[in-house]
A = this chain, B = another copy of it.
Amino acid sequence: MTGDSADLHSAAMSDRLAADTLAPLTGLPEWKRFALVAQTCASRTGVLDLIEAPGLTLDSSGQRHSPELMAAGEALLRARDFDTQRARLLAGEIVNVTEDRAAWHTLLRAPEAPPEVQAERERMDAWVQRADAGRRWRHVVHVGIGGSDWGVRLAVTAFGYAGTWRDVRFVANIDGHAIEGGLAGLDPRETLVVLVSKSFTTAETLENGARAREWLMASGLDPAAHLAAVTARPDRARAWGVPENQIFQLWDWVGGRFSLWSAVSLSTALAVGVEVLEGLRAGAAAMDAHFAQAPLAENAPVRMALAGVANRSVLGQGSLNIAPYDSRLANLVPYIQQLDMESLGKSVDVAGRPVGVPTGPAVWGMPGTDAQHTFFQWMHQGSDGAPVDFILCREADHHWPAHHRQLLANCLAQREALMRGKTLAQAHAECLAEGMDEARAAWLAPHRVHPGGRPNHLIALPRLSPYSLGALLALYEHRVFTQGVIWGIDPFDQWGVEYGKILARGIIAELDPAVSQAHRADAAGPGSSAGGRPGAGHDASTRHWIDRLRG
């Protein structure tokens, strides 16, 4: 699908050349124009700015928006060759240039997926249907971390919030308490352990999997019968002891943080049904088509990306808050956090130069109304607050309309308060109206001022269907990609996570009382070259803690 390796290599060469010719963002007249217009554009909450996209409505009225700003944004995108970049992404070309890879997750949900994708999907669906027919696996322990975890957690929480007949547990962390809690109280005879790792080398997943396998064996069971795996390296899963027919495949051209669209969602299918996966894919495919075809001014991911770049690189907002007003979407926050921060948490462009402006923000959040009782004080009156993506579902799936009205009203009210603000004169009048004397009112009023003018998006789903959730996730994927194009960075690599892994390997050996002094010296990592003794290169504090924590 991605061509043979000679093709790949020559494509990579030409991509690298293209990367080398990328102009520095801050030198572009189109950037200067965009920054100027964004800086001076008044917020115009009086002017409605809606896009009806597949599966959802995007309201950008709470962002800076104007015909001039849109024109400047379009010019900027043209200067970044956005049309070509988008076409290359969707055609499965090498858009992950630093790793010489495609990022073709859109293919996994394409209406006409290629035969090998189709075949793997059908094999998995059939396997799940057989398990369902036999009422097999009352417990599923999903073992995976990061991109092998969040998408499944998100979908299972979204659609299984009131329980399913299968109890699904998630074990991600290397912390032994995670696997201990994950297995506690389960009946091993009724338990399926699903190991998810693209490389099938992820330390957390293999260690936790080993504990689960021991637990199965301790019950006198044949562990092979209770293990499934999802990986791009079926050979390694087989060698680890997972039977061939319980290994499902993903591909090298699927990044971890985009792998929800593959067999990584096996546990989702077991928990809430294969039709949920079908709905997710259909919604995402519809959003892919919208992203490919809609004019830029009416293109939801593009509009969100332009607002994101303006907020971060022009207006200086350091973070982005995700506020789903739906308790079933609690795991949307870490999902988008990973998608956005792993993709855009980089400071050099594909030509290796500093981007020159701040790139990806910190992404954080919590479902409303919980968030209101946790940190909305800060959103309203803190030094700079944060732009907010409000997300709501027009219809609920429960039978208490008064709850849903209160939920929606809270969402609209918080958003209105953030946009509108409250002046000192209003606060003062309010204090007097509450019966305070003039002295107290004058003193207290400044504490009740809200600056207002905080930027936001409102994303409205008709209801929380798999289709609308799929569209929502693809919206964020393409928003992130578009910001990557503007900043000129590779949103698909993650070089920054390697360094800590290498240092950890050395420290694990140094902490192990069974490893000799000499071996520790060898294993002490990059720092060890600085001197003869083990870990001589560590700073004083790291040295102190290694010595103190050695078992």
With both chains docked as a complex, state the minimum distance between the C-beta of A343 and any C-beta of chain B, in angstroms: 8
Please tell me if the beta carbons of B346 and A549 are within 8 angstroms of each other in the complex. no
Contact of A406 among B174, B380, B414 (CB under 8 A): B174
* A338 adjacent to chain B (CB < 8 Å): yes
Please tell me if the beta carbons of A381 and B495 are within 8 angstroms of each other in the complex. yes
Name the segment of A81-89, A118-126, A238-246, A504-512 touching the other chain: A504-512
Please give me the residue from chain B that is nearest to A401 by CB atom. B551
A46-83 vs B: 1/0 string, CB under 8 Å?
A: 11111000000001011000000000000000000000
Please tell me if the beta carbons of A400 and B211 are within 8 angstroms of each other in the complex. yes
With both chains docked as a complex, state the minimum distance between the C-beta of A209 and any C-beta of chain B, in angstroms: 12
Residues from chain B with Cβ under 8 Å of A203 in the complex: 406
Please tell me if the beta carbons of B422 and A499 are within 8 angstroms of each other in the complex. yes
Residues from chain B with Cβ under 8 Å of A318 in the complex: 318-319, 362, 384
How many copies the complex holds: the figure is 2
Residues from chain B with Cβ under 8 Å of A98 in the complex: 444, 447
A503-551 with Cβ < 8 A to chain B: 503-508, 510-512, 526-527, 538-542, 544-546, 548-549, 551
A494 to B374, CA, bound (A): 11
With both chains docked as a complex, state the minimum distance between the C-beta of A430 and any C-beta of chain B, in angstroms: 8
A181 to B539, CA, bound (A): 49
Please tell me if the beta carbons of B176 and A374 are within 8 angstroms of each other in the complex. no
With both chains docked as a complex, state the minimum distance between the C-beta of A326 and any C-beta of chain B, in angstroms: 6
Please tell me if the beta carbons of B352 and A445 are within 8 angstroms of each other in the complex. yes
Name the segment of A33-41, A131-139, A145-153, A282-290 touching the other chain: A145-153
- Counting chain A residues whose Cβ lies within 8 A of the other chain, the interface size class is 35 or more
Residues from chain B with Cβ under 8 Å of A213 in the complex: none
With both chains docked as a complex, state the minimum distance between the C-beta of A162 and any C-beta of chain B, in angstroms: 4
With both chains docked as a complex, state the minimum distance between the C-beta of A217 and any C-beta of chain B, in angstroms: 15
Please tell me if the beta carbons of B406 and A207 are within 8 angstroms of each other in the complex. yes
Name the segment of A223-231, A272-280, A353-361, A472-480 touching the other chain: A353-361
Residues from chain B with Cβ under 8 Å of A162 in the complex: 177, 180-181, 184-185
A359 to B163, CA, bound (A): 42
A546 to B383, CA, bound (A): 30
Please tell me if the beta carbons of A497 and B347 are within 8 angstroms of each other in the complex. no
* A11 adjacent to chain B (CB < 8 Å): no
Contact of A539 among B150, B347, B367, B420 (CB under 8 A): B420
Please give me the residue from chain B that is nearest to A543 by CB atom. B48
State whether A377 and B345 are in contact (beta carbons under 8 Å apart), knowing that A358-B383, A382-B360, A541-B62 are contacts in the complex. Answer: yes
A419-460 vs B: 1/0 string, CB under 8 Å?
A: 110100010000000000000100111111111000000101
